[in-house]
Amino acid sequence: MSDTTQHYPFSVAGKTVLVTGASSDLGRHVAITLARRGACLVITGRNAERLQATYADLPGGGHVQVVADLTQKGDRDRLVQTAGVLNGVVHCAGLKSHCLVHQLDESLMSEMYQVNFLAPVMLTQRLLQADAVVQQGSIVFMLSTAAHVGTRGLGPYSAMKAGLVGMIKCLALEQAERKIRVNGISPSTIVTPMRAMHPGLLEEQKARHPLGLGTPDDVANGVVYMLSDASRWVTGTSLVMDGGAVI
Ligand SMILES: NC(=O)c1ccc[n+]([C@@H]2O[C@H](COP(=O)([O-])OP(=O)(O)OC[C@H]3O[C@@H](n4cnc5c(N)ncnc54)[C@H](OP(=O)(O)O)[C@@H]3O)[C@@H](O)[C@H]2O)c1
């Protein structure tokens, strides 16, 4: 028998959520999905024009946009000041680059570290220090299947995402007293309208995925789950979303 007065645990309505990387692709899709489900968004990205395009497509009102380069401490501080009190944080900003380890140079390694690891970790540090995440809030890091399996040419990217897996576990323990949950989502390749793929490569990718390729909606639904009260007992882990590719 259903009880219509019961709270719907998968809801994000009324939650205020910060989404980084909202000026492009997955972050943009996550932000729009959350707004469609009644969340109030604080979105950020570096490119003002593309961030404005996401902002304009957010249904509902009360959303905020902040142009920021998250590798810069001053920009992170300004973002935290503007964001106010948050129920959730989704770290979608990231940079993927292919390079075999023996061809790697220090500047590429440093950039991968700054964007994929330092920026989300230090933004989280600043938010927690400012007490900007409410009790029972949820922090989500967009990882990748590259955090869990090896791929030729993805060493630096893989290492930064795997580093976040370690950080997530420690942070989850540290924040458990406040019932703030900390988790990752690890998608494999997502084909989006913004990410055209060479037909040969597309067929190769399809063949690797027993359930076929995933969509931005699949990832956004995972984010919704991690931000909602339905995942209230889930922390320190990562949700691999890959249509069975890594098994
Ligand atoms: N797409 C996939 O197939 C896939 C699969 C697994 C995991 N992921 C992960 O999902 C996340 C989003 O991927 P995506 O495909 O949407 O990537 P994308 O289209 O390249 O977008 C990357 C986003 O990160 C932002 N960004 C990069 N450097 C930044 C910086 N220094 N400061 C602030 N923002 C910065 C970009 O902002 P601007 O554009 O404004 O510069 C952009 O919004 C990444 O963490 C990626 O590793 C993606």
Domain residue spans of the chain: 16-241
Atom of ligand 1 nearest to the CA of 157: 47
CB 181 within 8 A of CB 218: no
Q: Quick check: 1 pLDDT over 60?
A: no
Mean pLDDT, rounded, for 14-21: 98
Measured in angstroms, how far is the CA atom of residue 130 from the centroid of ligand 1? 25
Q: Which residues contact 130 (CB under 8 A, 6 or more apart)?
A: 80, 81
Instruction: Determine the residue of 18, 23, 26 to mutate for testing ligand 1's pocket, defined as the one with the most ligand atoms within 8 A of the Cβ atom.
Output: 26
Mean pLDDT, rounded, for 215-237: 98
Any ligand 1 atom below 6 A from CB of 111 = no
Cα distance between residue 247 and residue 235, in whole Å = 22
As separate numbers, helices (DSSP H) first and strands (DSSP E) second, the chain gives: 8, 7
Write out pLDDT tens, residues 43-79.
Answer: 999 999 999 999 999 999 999 999 999 999 999 999 9
Cα distance between residue 157 and residue 133, in whole Å = 28
Write out pLDDT tens, residues 128-148.
Answer: 999 999 999 999 999 999 999
Q: Quick check: 3 pLDDT over 90?
A: no
**Confidence (pTM):** 0.97
The pLDDT score that the predictor gives to residue 5 is 55
Residue 226 corresponds to which tokens in the numbers above?
């991690």
The pLDDT score that the predictor gives to residue 222 is 98
Confidence of residue 197 (pLDDT cuts 50, 70, 90): confident
The pLDDT score that the predictor gives to residue 226 is 98
C-alpha 246 chain-centroid distance: 20
Strand, coil or helix: 177: helix
Nearest CA to ligand 1 atom 13: 26
Mean pLDDT, rounded, for 209-228: 97
Cα distance between residue 49 and residue 212, in whole Å = 33
The pLDDT score that the predictor gives to residue 199 is 87
Mean pLDDT, rounded, for 113-129: 98
Any ligand 1 atom below 6 A from CB of 218 = no
Backbone phi, psi, residue 44, to 5°? -145, 155
Any ligand 1 atom below 6 A from CB of 21 = yes
Atom of ligand 1 nearest to the CA of 21: 43
Measured in angstroms, how far is the CA atom of residue 240 from the centroid of ligand 1? 18
Q: Which residues contact 72 (CB under 8 A, 6 or more apart)?
A: none
Q: Which residues contact 31 (CB under 8 A, 6 or more apart)?
A: 19, 22, 41, 43, 54, 58
Any ligand 1 atom below 6 A from CB of 95 = yes
Write out pLDDT tens, residues 162-196.
Answer: 999 999 999 999 999 999 999 999 999 998 777 77
Residue in 199, 106, 193, 108 with CA at minimum distance from that of residue 154: 108
Q: Quick check: 2 pLDDT over 70?
A: no
The pLDDT score that the predictor gives to residue 78 is 98
Atom of ligand 1 nearest to the CA of 68: 33
Q: Quick check: 198 pLDDT over 80?
A: yes
Please tell me which residue, 99 or 3, carries the higher pLDDT value.
Answer: 99
Any ligand 1 atom below 6 A from CB of 185 = no
Q: For the chain, what percent of residues have pLDDT higher than 70?
A: 97
Any ligand 1 atom below 6 A from CB of 23 = yes
CATH 3.40.50.720 fits 16-241, yes or no: yes
The pLDDT score that the predictor gives to residue 4 is 55
Burial class (CB in 10 A: 0-12, 13-18, 19+), 30: buried
